[in-house]
């Protein structure tokens, strides 16, 4: 029996409708009962992704946080983490503030530092004073801008100015990871650990930070994805995670 792996984004990919969400979660359980390997892949930090897994009762075999840069087992065991140099942190944070970010969150394998946050009424928490910032290696820095257009513009600038970092737009959020990282890289690493061949990897997502893994493997997007992503998804568009899993299981029902 061949082993099949599904890597799924969460935010915007799992349905916000309660009934459909439960059907999505039940489809995951059925897939795992049939011997499949399932994991969540997110731009969120490890603690937030673990909360999603436990609070929403989504069964998983792995949790890939930080856009694929940090991988934990559901038990909490750290499998791997890709970190950027501590020397990039302070210049990057100053640059993001100069561009008007509303927050700066720094993810590391041992936790997250929210070092700058602007409330909707203009109040600032964790005032941006350099003495408060810990120049340590990091797996991801996240920032937030007031428009998707600005997020994409700042991403292009960072990719040009910081040669050892990759900036990944995700709606109004901008996730910055070590160059050469990304959800596709994380999925490749976890597939190797589980002994799954590339042709047996399937992915699903809804936003631009999902695009690398969707293009690299058998990938779908959900209906709410941007139109240009739908054009690039090798397997097309589905209404839900449930539908995607059903297609995978029907295609390989003699082996899964």
- Rounded Cα distance between 226 and 173, Å, is 15
- Asked if residue 171 and residue 242 are part of one domain, the reply reads no
Q: Is 191 exposed, middle or buried (0-12, 13-18, 19+ CB in 10 A)?
A: buried
What percent of the chain lies above the pLDDT cut of 70? Answer: 94
In this structure, the number of other CB atoms found within 10 A of the CB of residue 57 comes to: 11
- Asked if residue 94 and residue 12 are part of one domain, the reply reads no
Distances from the Cα of 25 to the Cαs of 33, 59, 63, 89, 165, in angstroms?
Answer: 12, 8, 15, 37, 34
What pLDDT, on a 0 to 100 scale, did the predictor assign at position 173? 93
Q: Is 114 part of a structural domain of the chain?
A: yes
Domain-terminating residue out of 147, 178, 209: 178
- Asked if residue 216 and residue 172 are part of one domain, the reply reads no
- Asked if residue 186 and residue 73 are part of one domain, the reply reads yes
Interval 107-121: pLDDT, tens: 988 888 877 778 778
What pLDDT, on a 0 to 100 scale, did the predictor assign at position 119? 79
- Asked if residue 185 and residue 172 are part of one domain, the reply reads no
Question: Confidence class of residue 16 from pLDDT cuts 50, 70 and 90?
Answer: confident
165: containing domain? 86-178
- Asked if residue 172 and residue 91 are part of one domain, the reply reads yes
Q: Is 97 part of a structural domain of the chain?
A: yes
Domain-terminating residue out of 131, 150, 178: 178
- Asked if residue 174 and residue 90 are part of one domain, the reply reads yes
């Amino acid at each position: 029996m061949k082993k099949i792996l599904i890597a799924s984004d969460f935010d915007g990919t799992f349905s916000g409708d309660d009934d459909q969400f439960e059907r999505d979660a039940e489809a995951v359980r059925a897939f795992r009962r049939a011997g499949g390997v399932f994991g969540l892949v997110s731009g969120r930090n490890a603690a937030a992704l673990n909360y999603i897994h436990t609070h929403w009762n989504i069964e998983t075999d792995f949790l890939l946080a930080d856009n694929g840069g940090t991988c934990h087992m559901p038990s909490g065991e750290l499998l791997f983490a890709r970190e950027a140099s501590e020397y990039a942190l302070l210049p990057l944070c100053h640059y993001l503030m100069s561009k008007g970010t509303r927050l700066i969150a720094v993810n590391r394998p041992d936790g997250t530092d929210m070092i700058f946050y602007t409330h909707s009424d203009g109040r600032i928490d964790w005032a941006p004073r350099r003495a408060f910032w810990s120049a340590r290696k990091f797996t991801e820095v996240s920032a937030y801008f007031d428009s998707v257009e600005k997020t994409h513009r700042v991403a292009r600038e960072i990719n040009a100015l910081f040669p050892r970092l990759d900036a990944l737009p995700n709606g109004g959020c901008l996730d910055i990871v070590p160059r050469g990282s990304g959800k596709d890289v994380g999925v490749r690493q976890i597939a190797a650990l589980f002994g799954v061949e590339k042709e047996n990897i399937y992915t699903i997502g809804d936003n631009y930070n999902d695009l690398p893994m969707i293009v690299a493997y058998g990938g779908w997007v959900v209906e709410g994805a941007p139109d240009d992503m739908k054009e690039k998804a090798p397997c097309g568009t589905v209404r839900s995670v449930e539908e995607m899993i059903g297609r995978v299981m029907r295609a390989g029902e003699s082996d899964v």
